[in-house]
Structure 1
Amino acid sequence: MSRIDEILGRMDALEKELRVELRDMKSEFLYTVQKKKVRFSAEVRAAHRELAAKWSDYVYDSGVWVMLTLPFIFMPLIPALMIDVSVWLYQLMCFPVYGIPRVKRRDYVVIDRHSLKYLNLIEKVNCYYCGYFNGLIGFVREVAARTEQYWCPIRHARPVKSVHSRYRHFFPYGDAKGYREGLNEVRTRFDDV
């Protein structure tokens, strides 16, 4: 195992540890998740409602310049929806042919912050938007990562700022022999998903 493989393994372990830690925060903020729905006690919901900002105050406090940026924020929504449908269809049609396990979109696109009573309507819309976009980017990245593992599982020569979940399975740059001898095995190595 190379030093790079060791570091990528530690990164994966830390990401798993982070997911567990985030999941365990439920007890600190007194909520449960039942059938994918978040539940707060009545007293916590009441306390949250008292902390909600009026939407009119929220708009006023944001200022004119922030309000003028709204069309630019929502402009990418149409292309995002097109990407969402295209990537969903792509993996639906191609992944079974390649033998790649499908990516569960619901594991990435999580829309749940709207049930927080301390958010006003505008903040809830913002949370829908951000949850959708960030989840969509994560979903698309995982579909692309699995595709890259099948078609071109070779690490880059230059360092990349952020590596995706499948990168640890890739061959080192320049390892022609390893690539030729191990390509078929790497193309089917999805037992960890």
Structure 2
Amino acid sequence: MTQRMKEIARTIVDLQAELDREIEHRRRALGVRVHDRLVEFERGIVIEQRKLKTSVRAFLARSSFGAIITAPVIYSMLLPLVLLDIWISVYQAVCFRAYGIARVERRDYIAFDRGRLAYLNWVEALNCGYCAYANGVIAYAREIGSRTEQYWCPIKHALKISDPHQRYYEFLEFGDAEGYRTRLAAFRALLAADGDDIAKGTRAASPRPEAEERASP
């Protein structure tokens, strides 16, 4: 990775941190507090939210015919999602322990907090729970997959791929044979020391910066 690429990566991290601060500021403005993964609302907020709650009958009356008849198809995805959830959890419990990779915390990716919103009826809350689980499981599996890729093949593709995981940006350049042979162990050591080094935005220093600079054009 060139120096310019490192600077861009740091800028991305800084912007993400700034965005997180703005999101937290907006939550506080709406009367929301989060402490130890517990969500709390300021007094009076829940009462105001309930005033905007729509009955299930009114909700269904406003729903399109297509939305209603496709609901069973949407919820049928629960079976493969549950299987993925179980299978990927067993995979990392067995393989990550064998490889010495820090395991992914499932609760960091799957959260069912939106059910506490008083302005949602039970159908809307159920839909939110489904979306939280579906996207959470996929994100959980993606992080497990990204750690696996960093362990076995931390190499960028020659072809452009859409929305790669965060670890990808730290991977070796396509065609950097020397870097792969000399730095693979260092990439693996980062996972053993702290599996969240890149995924949580810290973007730890590269294992051997001098090798990167030699490989840079």
TM-score interval, smaller chain: over 0.9
Does structure 2 retain, via aligned residues, the 8 Å contact 1:5–1:168? no
SS at structure 2 position matched to 1:188: helix
Structure 2 residue ranges without an equivalent (≥5): 201-217
Listed as ranges, the matches of 1:76-91 within 5 Å are: 76-91=77-92
TM-superposition CA deviations, 1:30-68 (whole Å, max 9, x none): 121233221113311110000001111000100222100
* Residue of structure 2 in register with 1:168 after alignment: 169
Paired with 1:189 and 1:5, the residues of 2 have a C-alpha distance of 18
* Residue of structure 2 in register with 1:36 after alignment: 37
Paired with 1:17 and 1:89, the residues of 2 have a C-alpha distance of 36
Does structure 2 retain, via aligned residues, the 8 Å contact 1:49–1:118? yes
* Residue of structure 2 in register with 1:150 after alignment: 151
Q: Tell me if 1:140 matches 2:144.
A: no
RMSD value over aligned CA atoms?
1.6
Paired with 2:142 and 2:109, the residues of 1 have a C-alpha distance of 10
Residues 176 and 156 from structure 1, CA distance in 2 versus in 1: closer, same or farther, beyond 3 angstroms? same
* Residue of structure 2 in register with 1:184 after alignment: 185
Paired with 1:125 and 1:133, the residues of 2 have a C-alpha distance of 12
* Residue of structure 1 in register with 2:122 after alignment: 121
* Residue of structure 1 in register with 2:48 after alignment: 47
Paired with 1:135 and 1:34, the residues of 2 have a C-alpha distance of 20
* Residue of structure 1 in register with 2:69 after alignment: 68
Q: Once the two structures are aligned, what percentage of the paired residues are identical?
A: 39
TM-superposition CA deviations, 1:126-146 (whole Å, max 9, x none): 100111111111111100000
TM-score by length of 1: 0.93
Higher mean alpha-carbon deviation, 66-75 vs 16-25, is at 16-25
Does structure 2 retain, via aligned residues, the 8 Å contact 1:31–1:40? yes
Aligned pairs, number = 193
Paired with 2:165 and 2:138, the residues of 1 have a C-alpha distance of 12
TM-score by length of 2: 0.83
Does structure 2 retain, via aligned residues, the 8 Å contact 1:53–1:119? yes
Higher mean alpha-carbon deviation, 92-101 vs 12-21, is at 12-21
* Residue of structure 2 in register with 1:103 after alignment: 104
* Residue of structure 1 in register with 2:204 after alignment: none
Paired with 2:20 and 2:98, the residues of 1 have a C-alpha distance of 32
Does structure 2 retain, via aligned residues, the 8 Å contact 1:142–1:165? no
Q: 1:88 offset after TM fit, Å? A: 0.7
